[in-house]
């Protein structure tokens, strides 16, 4: 990604990977979510990734990471967003084990409240 230097990979999934990157011009650390290269040629995956970026741009909540920019180029697509300190949900579940249904519902409730705040 021009103007950014990848520092550390945070997560990797079937559709994307997320890395901590340093913005050269400002010295600010950000999170960049890259659409996997294999999927960048799929119109359906590109559309879904673009819609995710649009959703982030429409939300304004202290509970949701802020979108800084969305980049689409022949090399692929990327969502540049605010870097939020904390543990990944997968790591929390690995450490604490399965959650009770009530705890899972509370987590989902917070997520839905954050999405409706936009």
Query: How would you write the pLDDT of the chain (118 residues) with one tens digit per residue?
Result: 889 999 999 888 888 899 999 999 999 999 999 988 778 778 888 888 899 999 889 888 887 889 999 998 888 899 999 998 766 666 666 777 766 766 666 666 666 565 555 5
Distances (CA, A) of 25 to 3, 28, 45: 7, 8, 30
- In angstroms, rounded to a whole number, what is the distance separating the alpha carbons of residues 64 and 3? 24
Structure tokens at 96: 């604490």
Tell me, what's the pLDDT at 39? Answer: 82
Q: pTM higher than 0.85 for the full model? A: no
């Amino acid at each position: 990604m021009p103007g950014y230097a990848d520092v550390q990979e945070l997560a990797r999934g079937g559709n994307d990977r997320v890395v901590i990157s340093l913005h050269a011009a400002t010295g600010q650390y950000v999170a960049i979510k890259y659409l996997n290269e294999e999927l960048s040629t799929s119109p359906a995956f590109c559309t879904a990734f673009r819609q995710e970026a649009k959703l982030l741009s429409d939300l304004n909540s202290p509970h949701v990471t802020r979108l800084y920019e969305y980049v689409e180029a022949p090399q692929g697509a990327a969502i540049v967003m605010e870097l939020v300190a904390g543990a990944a949900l997968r790591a929390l579940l690995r450490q604490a084990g399965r959650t009770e249904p009530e705890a899972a519902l509370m987590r989902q409730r917070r997520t839905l409240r954050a999405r409706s705040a936009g």
